[in-house]
Amino acid sequence: MAKPLRFRHSRERWDSGRVARALHSELDDNLGASMGAPWFRQPSGYEAVRFDVDNGDTALFAWRAGDDETGGWWLGNTETPSPLWRTDKQTFAQAPFDLSRWAQREFTAELHEQAPWLEPYPYVSWFFLPVFCSKDGRETTRAFFREHAAGFPDADSEDALDFYESFLSTGVFDDHRHEMAGKLGTSEYLDVTRSSSAMSEFHAAWLLREAGYDVTPEIEVTTGHSLDFRADREGEQGVLVEVTRPVPTNDRAASTPIAAIRDTAATKTDGQLSEHGGGAVLFVDCSSFPDDEWRRILGEQPDVHHRPAVVFRLRPDGTVQGYTKGSVPLELPQL
């Protein structure tokens, strides 16, 4: 499976002749491709070309201008030409700032041309660009937002996009963009359940941010595992958080919503959390459940095989309901 979109950095010297011979020729022979000027002017100090591949793929290549300059950067959602196979990989944040900004502008313009419904959501477009324009996942990740409202049941895609636009534009995950966007995956086959589960980490982070906590993802613990978050607030000790998302009964074998959340939580508590040895709060995101099933869960407030635990359901308008079990070391006034 291809990874989220990222640069390949060559430390060699490049010029237009070598780009044509070594990169365009191979790409054209294998897939059919044209080489031309980029849509936007490249930053000062670089030369650049754009490859439009016959199958709809796109690639950019920019290199340092000048006889004594070395270094080239490839960014594409197509096959990588062999001269670049052993090059270093860089995220948008790791590549030179001006170059990265230009390349993202190119791919964002293409994204909005192909998916104009994303244009009113610049932050969602920017944040998820590594997957929205990935080699294998560009169709499936766009469809997840457009056709499945990013996993919210009985919701319009516009409502879901409004929610994520508002939340992500706070900058909550700007420093962890590649990692968090990549959680959606880049598979050519859409798994709505898996994609929805990935969004649960965003929901838990939203709940924590609304309560005044800063969140840091992917916290390594002594068992060799990583837990989803550490929640910090000034003057308080950080709290480790692990997130899980049960599947509604109409999508799984569990016969009741109560059994669904218990079974899913048990998978976490019998594995990762049990090996960690305690101390983490389990967040059980029930945002996939329709109204009737959630009402039953909220009415019975069942245990979930782990304490402390937070069981909640979020709607794209920011409405949240839930309950806690055990002594949760977090202040969550929304619940």
> What are 31's strand-pairing partners?
none
Q: Which residue from 242, 274, 245, 241 is spatially nearest to 260, judged by alpha carbons?
A: 245
Burial of 54 (C-beta count, 10 Å sphere; 0-12/13-18/19+)? exposed
Q: Which residue has the higher pLDDT, 250 or 22?
A: 22
CA 313 – CA 316 distance, rounded (Å)? 10
Residue 306 clears pLDDT 90, i.e. is over it? no
pLDDT at position 310 is 96
Query: Distance of CA 96 to CAs 70, 179, 277, Å?
Result: 14, 19, 42
Q: Can you read off the two tokens belonging to residue 19? A: 């780009």
CA 300 – CA 312 distance, rounded (Å)? 13
pTM > 0.85: yes
Average of per-residue pLDDT across 281-302: 94
Residue 273 clears pLDDT 60, i.e. is over it? no
Mapping DSSP to helix (H, G, I), strand (E, B) and coil, where does residue 268 land? helix
Q: Can you read off the two tokens belonging to residue 323? A: 């309950």
Q: What is the largest CA-CA distance in the chain?
A: 73
Residue whose token pair is 């669904």: 260
309-314 vs 280-285, strand pairing mode: parallel
Model pLDDT for residues 176-208, shown as the tens digit of each residue: 999 999 999 999 999 999 999 999 999 999 999
Average of per-residue pLDDT across 219-223: 75
The pLDDT-based confidence of 76 (bands split at 50, 70, 90) is: very high
Residue 277 clears pLDDT 80, i.e. is over it? no
What values do phi and psi take at 19, rounded to 5? -60, -45
Average of per-residue pLDDT across 128-140: 96
Which residues, in sequence order, are CB contacts of 92 under 8 Å at separation 6+? 6, 7, 100, 103, 104, 129, 130, 177, 178
- Return the sign of the alpha-carbon dihedral for residues 93, 95, 96, 97: negative
pLDDT at position 257 is 84
CA 149 – CA 278 distance, rounded (Å)? 35
Alpha carbon of residue 54 to chain centroid: 28
CA 287 – CA 308 distance, rounded (Å)? 20
Q: Which residue from 314, 257, 253, 254 is spatially nearest to 283, judged by alpha carbons?
A: 314
Residue 1 clears pLDDT 60, i.e. is over it? no
